[in-house]
Amino acid sequence: MKPVAIVTGASRGIGRGVASELARTHEVIATYRGRRDAAESLQAEIACDIFPCDVSSARDRAALIDHARKRFGRLDLLVNNAGMAPRERKDILEATEESFDELISVNLKGPHFLTQLAARWMVEQGSGRIVFVTSISSYTASVNRPEYCVSKAGLSMSVALWAARLAAQGIPVFEIRPGIIRTDMIAKVEDVYEERIAGGLLPQRRMGEPRDIAACVRSIAEGRLDYSTGQVLNVDGGFHLRTL
């Protein structure tokens, strides 16, 4: 039987790229929220299992793990990819508590507690790997979307906590920290980013693609990084480099 992977937020963007890559070797459970049409088109392309899941909902998280248990009986890889940007970018002086609560719930609380459910199962079965997709926003201050930055910074600490807790059980945990990736999330400001990249924002003068993240997940899924638990993998075209 093929190994089994859950990829959250897999109907579009980075998650879709990751699910497509993993489907070559894994049984994939691809979750989605709202866009069933996009999930069904993914299913038609790669023959994956699709499952509706709002990761901010405890009920949905439990239902997802229960579905995986009943459908496949094991879980080899969890890719915490689901996340959202603010519905409206606002300066930190104007940003609302409602938006803050929503992003913390989806981007931080959801993956943290989904990992708790998955980790208990992996400990029980004696194996597994866990990936969190965070963002350069975990350390880069964008004052027009503060709630996003705070949620991703918290998620980076969640990775460290889970890596430390699960190391002795032989379950490695990784953080993939994407930079500027061509997805729906940046569609409205894509031209601005392209102009800034051309002007030198990134040492590698191109925008990232979902396949760049998928290639990184592939290395983890194949066990090539198993002795590097807790590692932060910057997939950002060199954005994280400090140069003079």
Average pLDDT, the chain: 97
Which residues share a beta bridge with 235? Answer: 178
Is residue 244 very low, low, confident or very high in pLDDT (cuts 50, 70, 90)? confident
C-alpha closest to that of 85 among 7, 142, 157, 131:
142
- pLDDT for 148 equals 98
Q: Is the CA virtual torsion 50, 14, 165, 128 positive or negative? A: positive
User: For the chain, where are the E strands, in sequence order?
Assistant: 4-7, 27-32, 49-52, 77-80, 129-133, 173-178, 232-235
**Polymer length in residues for the chain:** 244
The one catalytic residue among 32, 148, 193, 227: 148
pLDDT digits (tens, 9 = 90+) for 193-208: 999 999 999 999 999 9
Query: Residues 136, 139, 143, 146: what is their CA dihedral angle, to the nearest 10 degrees?
Result: 90
% of residues, the chain, pLDDT over 70: 100
- pLDDT for 23 equals 98
Q: Which amino acid is at 203?
A: P
- pLDDT for 16 equals 98
Does residue 184 surpass a pLDDT of 90? no
CATH architecture of 4-234: 3-Layer(aba) Sandwich (3.40)
Is 148 known to be catalytic? yes
- pLDDT for 37 equals 95
Collect all residues with Cβ–Cβ distance below 8 Å to 92 and sequence separation of at least 6.
143, 144, 146
- Orientation of helix 13-22 relative to helix 36-46, angle to 10°: 20
pLDDT digits (tens, 9 = 90+) for 46-80: 999 999 999 999 999 999 999 999 999 999 999 99
The 173-178 sheet, strands edge to edge: 49-52, 27-32, 4-7, 77-80, 129-133, 173-178, 232-235
| Structure letter (DSSP) for residue 34 | S
Is residue 189 very low, low, confident or very high in pLDDT (cuts 50, 70, 90)? confident
